[in-house]
């Protein structure tokens, strides 16, 4: 007998608890009212995926680069697992995330399979691709510092879908996007005869984020004020509002030194209100025109035409002949204007006052970053203004081939693009993450910036092995991601400038979350690597022969005791107690540890809850 629709639905939901069913229904009710992209995911399965098992990292010391402690990390494995571990250990610690995710173009060589089109899907061909990325960005957003930023590269074809998904996954975080040229020319002669030569970098950030901006040019500040000893430029003193819209800004402006009056432009009135000509009950929150005049920041014209109309008849005659102050074709004095009689007998200037903007008053030494990224090939002819300058993908390919001597990765991004984006988004000491690290261009960019200014930015690169049935030994993370950094470390430039980047090489491992209390499931190494990362410490290996693991830098002192019954463990704790500095102790038996640390300022963390509580999404 064939299954009924009721039987199918029962199998779909019968594994859910009552609380899970209620949560699912509540979420569906909220989603019905939402305007946006709906990619029809299995939300119950999504929730389980985040917490169904536990993730640890294991160190492969043979593949690590340089001696410990390691601030930089290369993580081999599914980036979903790596992000779950990072969220547990490094929540709120990452300043910049740059990723170049799969574009869903149909390529079959990518480990995750760059064709997220489910068989039999109708109308939601990109459902799995969107859900795949959504889950990773949900985790990534929690890694950001309060001023952190996520930069996501995407092609033109899939930008719209990805952007809509990110708008929902990263609510209220959207900043904008940048456009860069990925290739030069193009010979797309089929179809609409359109060659798509550009890609996009979508920008999402926490409220405290600001790009560094580009260097300002001060060529406009050519005038010099000997009194203030500062250069200045002249700026417009008007605003794009008519006298009907801003009647309080439509008044005659008087130069107190010469007594010359200047009529306002009826279509573009003065920028500031006037104390003298304002209404008695007028409340102005900003400085008024008289304040700026007193500060010497209003420039009045010199060597200009002036006129005095002694009678109203003279004034009307001048208006009729057009011999009155103008701004382009707009006359500033006309026959039926308000209070025309005011201008009779006054010395009237035909020039236009301006506002003095002083170089010393600039709030920022840089100007805002442009959303247009200038191609290197056009930087000389078009100028760079306030833009980033970047090469094309061809630059990335050549750079990688120069290091490896052969083509080892398809379509690597140009180093100049990622380097300048990270320069704009970070400062020395910040952490940069790329969880689709591929050819490690992001790590290369961090190394370049650190070399330039002796900085100490650190990188975390996450990459899959990308093994296939046909090539089981294939390992992109080991042979390309990590190897590129090794080659850079041993390059002539690095050796000359001392700009090497040691790193820990780690692999992800899944553990049954309901078996973590069982002996051997959660090892001492698993815990030791995690607690170091929680406290922002560079990693040192697990010391198998040490009864107490200890890592301390400055005021941070972290200890881990795997088994207090082991010989030497209690004496090591008592020795730690003699040091008055505060410490964090991780242990399976907090009561025994508390006795050994009596009188010491210590924060004792019970295992495994100290990790599992942080792991849950």
Q: What is the pLDDT of residue 571?
A: 87
Report the alpha-carbon angle 30-34-39, nearest 5. Answer: 95
Q: 535 in a domain, yes or no? A: no
The dihedrals phi and psi of 261, each to the nearest 5 degrees, come to -105, 145
Q: 382 in a domain, yes or no? A: yes
pLDDT at 288 over 70: yes
Q: What is the pLDDT of residue 554?
A: 81
Contacts of 405 (CB under 8 A, 6+ apart): none
pLDDT at 72 over 80: yes
pLDDT at 76 over 80: yes
Q: What is the pLDDT of residue 138?
A: 96
Domain residues for the domain of 290 are: 223-361
Last residue of a domain, one of 463, 492, 509: 509
Confidence of residue 117 (pLDDT cuts 50, 70, 90): very low
* Among 337, 423, 426, 389, residue whose Cα is nearest residue 147: 426
Q: 518 in a domain, yes or no? A: no
* Alpha helices (runs of H) in 298-405, residue ranges in sequence order: 312-321, 379-382, 393-404
Average pLDDT over all residues of the chain = 88
Asked if 137 contacts 617 with a C-beta cutoff of 8 angstroms, the reply is no
Across residues 346-363, what is the average pLDDT?
A: 92
Q: What is the pLDDT of residue 105?
A: 67
Question: What is the C-alpha to C-alpha distance for residues 232 and 63, in angstroms, rounded to an integer?
Answer: 58
Q: 61 in a domain, yes or no? A: yes
pLDDT at 118 over 60: no
Share of the chain above pLDDT 90, in %: 62
Question: What is the C-alpha to C-alpha distance for residues 390 and 179, in angstroms, rounded to an integer?
Answer: 11
Asked if 75 contacts 506 with a C-beta cutoff of 8 angstroms, the reply is yes
Maximum mean pLDDT: which of 135-144, 177-186, 446-455, 570-579: 135-144
pLDDT at 9 over 90: no
Across residues 503-516, what is the average pLDDT?
A: 94
487 and 558 belong to one structural domain:
no
Question: What is the C-alpha to C-alpha distance for residues 571 and 148, in angstroms, rounded to an integer?
Answer: 43
pTM for the full predicted model: 0.79
Q: What is the pLDDT of residue 4?
A: 52
Range with the poorest average pLDDT among 66-70, 71-75, 194-198, 522-526 = 194-198
**SS3 readout for 263-317:** CCCCCCCECCCCCCCCCCCCCCCCCCHHHHHHCCCEECCCCCCEEEECCHHHHHH
Q: What is the pLDDT of residues 532-564, one digit of tens each?
A: 999 999 999 999 888 999 999 887 899 999 888
Q: What is the pLDDT of residue 113?
A: 47
Cα distances (Å, whole numbers) of residue 270 to 247, 288, 354, 382: 10, 10, 10, 35
Last residue of a domain, one of 329, 345, 361: 361
N- to C-terminal Cα distance for the chain?
41
Range with the poorest average pLDDT among 25-34, 189-198, 308-317, 498-507 = 25-34
* Stronger pLDDT, 387 or 509, i.e. the higher one: 509
209 and 353 belong to one structural domain:
no
282 and 317 belong to one structural domain:
yes
Across residues 47-63, what is the average pLDDT?
A: 91
Question: What is the C-alpha to C-alpha distance for residues 613 and 248, in angstroms, rounded to an integer?
Answer: 61
pLDDT at 114 over 60: no
Radius of gyration of the chain (CA): 33
Q: What is the pLDDT of residue 381?
A: 64
**SS3 readout for 154-203:** EECCCHHHHHHHHHHHCCCCEEEEEEEECCCCCCCCCCCCCCCCEEEEEE
Asked if 407 contacts 425 with a C-beta cutoff of 8 angstroms, the reply is no
Q: How many domains does the chain have?
A: 3
92 and 228 belong to one structural domain:
no
Cross-strand pairs, 552: 557
Last residue of a domain, one of 361, 380, 408: 361
């Amino acid at each position: 007998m064939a299954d009924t629709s009721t039987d199918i639905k029962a199998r779909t939901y019968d594994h859910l608890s009552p609380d899970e069913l209620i949560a699912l229904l509540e979420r569906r009710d909220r989603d019905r009212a939402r305007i946006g992209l709906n990619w029809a995911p299995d939300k119950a399965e999504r929730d389980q995926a985040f917490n169904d098992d536990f993730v640890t990292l294991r160190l492969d010391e043979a593949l690590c680069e340089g001696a410990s402690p390691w601030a930089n990390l290369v993580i081999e494995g599914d980036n979903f697992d790596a992000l779950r571990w990072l969220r547990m250990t490094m929540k709120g610690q990452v300043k910049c995330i740059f990723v170049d995710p799969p574009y869903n173009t149909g390529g079959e060589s990518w480990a995750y399979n760059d064709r997220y089109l489910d068989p039999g899907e109708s109308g939601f061909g990109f459902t799995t691709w969107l859900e795949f990325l959504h889950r990773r960005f949900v985790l990534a957003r929690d890694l950001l510092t309060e001023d952190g930023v996520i930069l996501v590269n995407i092609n033109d074809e899939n930008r719209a879908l990805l952007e809509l998904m990110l708008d929902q996954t990263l609510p209220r975080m959207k900043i904008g996007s940048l456009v860069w040229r990925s290739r030069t020319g193009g010979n797309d002669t089929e179809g609409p005869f359109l060659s798509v030569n550009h890609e996009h970098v979508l920008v999402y950030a926490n409220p405290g984020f600001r790009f560094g901006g580009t260097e300002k040019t001060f060529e406009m500040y050519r005038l010099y004020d000997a009194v203030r000893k500062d250069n200045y430029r002249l700026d417009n003193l008007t605003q794009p509002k008519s006298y009907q819209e801003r009647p309080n800004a439509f008044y005659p402006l008087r130069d107190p030194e010469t007594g010359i009056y200047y009529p306002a432009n009826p279509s573009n009135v003065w920028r500031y209100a006037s104390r003298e000509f304002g209404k008695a009950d007028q409340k102005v929150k900003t400085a008024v025109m008289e304040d700026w005049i007193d500060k010497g920041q209003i420039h009045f014209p010199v060597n200009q035409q002036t006129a005095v109309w002694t009678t109203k008849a003279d004034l009307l005659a001048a208006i009729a002949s057009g011999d009155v102050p103008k701004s382009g074709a707009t006359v500033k004095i006309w026959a039926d204007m308000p209070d025309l009689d005011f201008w009779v007998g006054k010395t009237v200037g035909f020039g236009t006052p301006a506002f003095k903007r002083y170089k010393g008053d600039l709030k920022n030494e840089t100007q805002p970053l442009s959303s247009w990224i200038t191609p290197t090939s056009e930087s000389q002819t078009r100028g760079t203004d306030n833009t980033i300058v970047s090469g094309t993908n061809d630059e990335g390919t050549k750079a990688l081939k120069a290091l490896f001597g052969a083509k080892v990765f398809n379509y690597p991004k140009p180093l100049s693009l990622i380097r300048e984006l990270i320069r704009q988004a970070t400062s020395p000491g910040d952490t940069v993450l790329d969880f689709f690290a591929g050819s490690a261009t992001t790590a290369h960019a961090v190394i370049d910036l650190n070399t330039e200014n002796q900085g100490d930015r650190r990188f975390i690169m996450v990459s899959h092995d990308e093994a296939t049935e046909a090539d089981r030994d294939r390992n992109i993370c080991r042979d390309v991601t990590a190897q590129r950094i090794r080659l850079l470390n041993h390059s002539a430039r690095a050796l000359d400038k001392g700009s090497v980047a040691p790193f820990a090489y780690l692999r992800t491992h899944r553990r049954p979350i309901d078996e973590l209390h069982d002996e051997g499931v959660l090892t001492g190494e698993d815990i030791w690597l995690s607690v170091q990362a929680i406290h922002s410490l560079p990693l040192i290996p697990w010391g198998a022969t040490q009864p107490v693991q200890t890592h301390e830098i400055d005021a941070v002192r972290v200890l881990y005791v795997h088994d207090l019954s082991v010989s030497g463990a209690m004496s090591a704790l008592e020795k730690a107690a003699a040091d008055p500095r505060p410490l964090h102790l991780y242990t399976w038996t907090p009561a025994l540890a508390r006795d050994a640390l009596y009188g010491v300022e210590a924060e004792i963390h019970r295992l495994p809850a100290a990790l599992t509580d942080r792991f849950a999404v």
